[in-house]
Amino acid sequence: MKLSIINRFLASSMLLVPALCAGAAMENPTDSVALAEVKKKISAWDRLHVGGYGEVAMSRNFYSDNYLRYSEPARYKNSSSHGRFDLPHVVIYLGYDFGKGWSFSSEIEFEHGGTEAAVEIETEEAGEYEKEVERGGEVALEQFYIQKEFFPQLKLRVGMQVVPVGATNAHHEPNQFFGVYRPEGENTIMPCTWHEVAVSLSGRAGKWSYMAMFMPGLDSERFGNQSWIHDGSASPFEFKIANNYAFAARVDNYSVKGLRWGLSGYVGNSFRNTLYPTESEKNKGIRGTVSVLSVDFKYDDHNWLVRGYGDWGHLTDAAHITKFNISMSKNSTSKRQEVASDAVAAGVEAGYNIFGVIPSMNKRNQKFYVFGRYDYYDSMARMENSTPLGWCGRQKITAGVNWFPIPQIVVKADYSLGILEKKYNNEPAINLGIAYVGWFK
């Protein structure tokens, strides 16, 4: 959801105003009507843009949800299934074009229904005030940045932005992937959607687009075994600690009709990016440098829609960080878990639009994709001084349908199978969902 197209439209409209004014006296009266229409297009109200996306999901998981299912797999082999209803992401976009290349964009996200808390007076506990959490979830300002567009090849942004590393972060709206849920590999090992307060340069020239970003580093205190660096971008404080800095970059190419391919990466130190004391002599020289390299593509032509990605990540000093985190207080925000030096994720999905060969459906602008998807990921692909946990590496096969009754709405249904090492139990599930993506004005 970018404002660049709207910005270019407004800019071109601005150029038309002087020309229409100059010719108004010589042209017929209909020109004044055209001038009024142009002015109406660039009114203050029209500069305000509101949009968003939202997802509703239902799952029936045919495996145990007990937290001991990986440490005692035999005990939970024949466990009953369990179901879930969820609102994975509900997002509101707000943006405004100030003119002369200046604009702002924002994104407010409600994950899993947001959060609800209430204070009650307990009549059975001597009238004490008690705070209760009525609904879990998260409300976050996922994006808020001010942008100056000098020209299409150069834009400067300052503020909270999405870090465009990996396919899912760069293209995370629900019409950008087939399954009911986001691709599991990238959503597990990396922050997703990854957002940071940052300074970035971006633009597009010909068949190429780019983005380069400067931001705070991750916090190694929050790394874990199953999630690798996923939670390292979060902060339990009212500010983001920036003892370390990081860089991210992305480049995309559109030279081949229907094909986009992208290359992205990240590098930054993560140790000492915390308020916890790290001045001890034993921590000298420890940096915890995180490096991520990702490649992804999308092909959309001849009724085929194919997407794929591959990610590799490396963490230096992983053994030291593991020891440091495990020794932390139980009251800390650390997961107190082993952390891998390497993590990997890869996946590909392909769908065919059946309605594309049915003229009546094609005329109505409806699409109906039958798709299949394969994901592989391992958050503990390599350990420095210990053995990886077997259940942290898995494959996932998904097959289903996506129906677009109108371009802004997608109805999804799929069957997925998580395949683990032999001693663990596989994880099959049926998922249903509906989502929208669009602008309201």
Domain chopping of the chain, boundaries: 43-439
Model confidence at 7: pLDDT above 50: no
Model confidence at 25: pLDDT above 70: no
- Third-level CATH fold of 43-439: Porin (2.40.160)
Return the pLDDT at 349.
98
Confidence class for position 236, pLDDT limits 50, 70, 90: confident
Model confidence at 28: pLDDT above 50: no
The residues, ordered by sequence, that sit 6+ positions from 151 with a Cβ below 8 Å of its Cβ are 203
Least confident of 29-38, 78-87, 122-131: 29-38
Average pLDDT over residues 159-183: 95
Reported as a single tens digit per residue, the pLDDT across 308-359 is: 999 999 999 999 999 999 998 888 888 899 999 999 999 999 999 999 999 9
* Residue pointed to by tokens 């990610």: 311
pTM for the whole thing? 0.84
- Tell which residue, 275, 285, 259, has the closest CA to residue 207: 259
Q: How far is the CA of 375 from the CAs of 143, 192, 298, 393, 419, in angstroms?
A: 28, 16, 16, 11, 10
Phi, psi of 397 (to 5 degrees): -110, 130
Reported as a single tens digit per residue, the pLDDT across 365-421 is: 999 999 999 999 999 999 988 888 999 999 999 999 999 999 999 999 999 999 999
Q: What three-state secondary structure class fits 232?
A: helix
Strand-pair category, 195-205 with 208-216: antiparallel
Average pLDDT over residues 81-107: 95
